[in-house]
């Protein structure tokens, strides 16, 4: 019925991947953008993990005598309304953002991939049901839905994840199904089938490995989307519970102060931007690396 194709994520055949492991590394080295993205993401993960050791104070330590300070040697990124060190809070903010990004996409993968495969492999009634569910959810206005969920269940990290994951699995599911349909028609699958392999084994043995690359790309590109949605919800005041620092919440509070205390909005916005850029570049890079045809010569 419908073929969903994100350019460079799926149209090209790629059983040649297995052939060239070393080419893979070489291509990564030749792709500065992907490298930059990987470095950024690695850096963010480092920040999130090492936060307690690389920050001078706990993230909720208030120092009322030092409120509203601009960046200085003592406070690299300045301080906020109650004198908390902004550098510390920005570093800790990576935890919420990365947790949201990774968890939401993990859920998306865990839900979307099996459903997509099931739809693609089993076809028929299963396919019809799954795709109707997908169509229905696609038509659901996302912000409205997230708001409803957050208001019904109340703010908090778990509910944010729920609100985001609810939509995040759809592209994965679609992609998996489309890839599956495509691979199924290929000669090697036909051959395997002719040799008496069952559907499940065909999927696990042959289809899955070959469609993994575009799925990885889609997941990587989904991470910044999830982070962005968390930021938007936090901005609307429906985010994680304070004093846990979240970039979105910090930006929300900071934007109202943008006309004078510019640092409060600038640094968390910068972190959101860098994170988005990092994951996007990495996603693009991974695609280029896994899909040689998208690379020029």
Partner 1 sequence: MHRMRTPRSRLCVAGLLVALVVFGPGYGPTVGAATVNSVGVALPSDAAPPSKQVLTLIGREGTYLDWSKTVQKGQWMPGLMSDPLVMQDYNSDIKPLAAARWSVSPDGRTWTFVLRPGLRWSDGVPLSASDFVYTIRRMANPETGFDVAWYFSAVKNFKEANEGKAKLEDIGAVAVNPATLQITTTDPTPYLLMLLSDLYVVPEHVVAKTGDPWSQSPDTAVSSGPFKLASWERDKQLIFVANPAYAGIRKPYLERIVYKVGQDQSFFPAYLANEVDAIPWIYEGPLGPSDLARVQSDPRLRREAHIWPYFQTWWIAFGGEATAFKDARVRKAFAMAIDRDAIIKSVLRGMAVPAYGMLPPGFHCAQPARLKGAQPYNPAEAKKLLAEAGYPDGRGFPKYDLDLRAASPTIQAAGEAIQAMVKQNLGIDVGVQNLERKLFMDRLNKYDLPLVLIPWEYDYADASNFMNIYKSGGRHPWSNADYDKAVVAANSTMGDAQRCTMYRRAEDILVRDPGAVFLWHPTVTQLWKPWVKGLINRTNKYGFVSWSRPSKADMPPYIYMGNEKP
Partner 2 sequence: MGRYLVARAAAILGTLLIISLFVFIVMHAIPGGPFDEDKMPLPPASKANILRSYGLDRPLSEQYVRFVWNVAHLNFGVSYQSPGESVVHLLSRVWPVTMHLGGMALAIALAGGLSLGVTAALRQNTAVDYLTTGVAVFGLVVPHFVLGSLLILLFSTMLGWLPAGGWDAPRQWILPTLTYCLAPLGLVARYTRVSVLEVLGADHVRTARAKGLAARRIVLRHVLRNALVPLLTVIGPLFPDLLTGSIFVEGIFRVPGLGRYFVTSVYDRDYPMIMGLALLAALLVSVMYLVSDLLYLLADPRIRYT
Instruction: Catalog residues that contact partner 1 under the rule CB under 8 A.
Output: 60-62, 64, 67-68, 80-84, 151, 154-155, 237-238, 241-243, 252-253, 255-261, 264
Residue 84 interaction partner, one of partner 1, partner 2, none, beta carbon < 5-8 Å per kind: partner 1
Least distance from partner 1 to the Cβ atom of residue 60, Å: 6
Say how far apart CA 103 and CA 97 lie, in whole Å.
Answer: 10
Binding mask 169-198 for partner 2 (x = CB under 8 A): ------------------------------
* Rg of the chain, C-alpha, whole Å: 22
| Residue 139 binds: one of partner 1, partner 2, none (C-beta under 5 to 8 A by kind) | partner 2
Q: Which is nearer to partner 2, 160 or 203 (CB)?
A: 160
Torsion of CA 62, 80, 163, 100, to 10 degrees: -80
Nearer to partner 2, 203 or 272 (CB): 272
Q: Is 26 in the site for partner 2 (CB under 8 A)?
A: no
Instruction: Quote the tokens at residue 143.
Output: 């912000």
Q: Which residue has the tokens 């790309």?
A: 217
Contact 34, 279 (CB under 8 A): no
Interaction between residue 87 and partner 2 (CB under 8 A):
no
Spatial separation of the C-alpha atoms in residues 3 and 81, rounded to whole Å:
52
- In the structure encoding, which two tokens stand for residue 66, read together? 């030092």
Question: Minimum Å distance from CB 139 to partner 2?
Answer: 4
**Considering beta carbons, is residue 151 or 242 the nearer one to partner 2?**
151
Q: How far apart are the first and last CA of the chain?
A: 34
CB of residue 13 to partner 2, shortest distance in Å: 13
Q: Cα–chain-centroid distance for residue 61?
A: 31
Choose one: 72-80, 117-125, 183-191, 232-240; the region binding partner 2 (CB under 8 A): 232-240
Contact (CB, 8 A) for 283 and 217: yes
Question: 221 to each of 70, 77, 193, how far by Cα in Å?
Answer: 34, 29, 34
Nearest-5° angle of CA 189, CA 193, CA 198?
115
Establish if 129 lies at the interface with partner 2 (CB under 8 A): no
Length, in residues, of the chain: 297
Residues lying near partner 2 in the complex (CB under 8 A): 1-8, 11, 33, 132, 135-136, 138-141, 143-144, 147-149, 151-152, 224, 228, 231-232, 235-236, 251-252, 255, 258-259, 265, 269, 272-274, 276-277, 280-281, 284, 293-294, 296-297
């Amino acid at each position: 019925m419908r073929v969903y194709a994100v350019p460079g994520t799926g149209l090209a055949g790629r059983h040649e991947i297995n052939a060239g492991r070393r080419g893979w590394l070489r291509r990564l080295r030749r792709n500065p953008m992907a490298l930059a993205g990987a470095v950024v993401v690695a850096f963010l993960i480092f920040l999130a993990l090492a936060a307690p050791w690389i920050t001078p104070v706990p993230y909720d330590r208030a120092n009322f005598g030092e409120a509203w300070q601009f960046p200085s040697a003592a406070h690299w990124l300045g301080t906020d309304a109650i004198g908390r060190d902004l550098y510390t809070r920005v570093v800790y903010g990576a935890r919420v953002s990365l947790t949201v990004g990774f968890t939401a996409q993990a859920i998306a993968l865990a839900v979307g991939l099996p459903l997509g495969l099931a739809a693609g492999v089993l076809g028929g009634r299963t396919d019809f049901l799954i795709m109707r569910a997908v169509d229905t959810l696609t038509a659901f206005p996302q912000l409205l839905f997230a708001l409803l969920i957050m208001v019904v269940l109340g703010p908090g990290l778990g509910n944010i994840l729920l609100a985001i994951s609810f939509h995040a699995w759809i592209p994965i599911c679609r992609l998996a199904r489309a890839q599956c349909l495509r691979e199924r028609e290929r000669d090697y699958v036909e051959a395997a089938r002719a040799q008496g392999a069952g559907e499940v084994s065909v999927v696990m043995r042959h289809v899955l490995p070959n469609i993994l690359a575009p799925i990885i790309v889609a997941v990587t590109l989904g991470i910044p989307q999830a982070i962005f949605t968390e930021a938007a919800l936090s901005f609307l005041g429906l985010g994680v519970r304070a004093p846990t620092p979240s970039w979105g919440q910090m930006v929300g509070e900071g934007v109202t102060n943008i006309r004078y205390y510019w640092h409060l909005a600038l640094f968390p916005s910068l972190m959101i931007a860098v994170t988005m850029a990092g994951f996007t570049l990495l996603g693009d890079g991974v695609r280029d690396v896994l899909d040689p045809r998208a690379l020029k010569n």
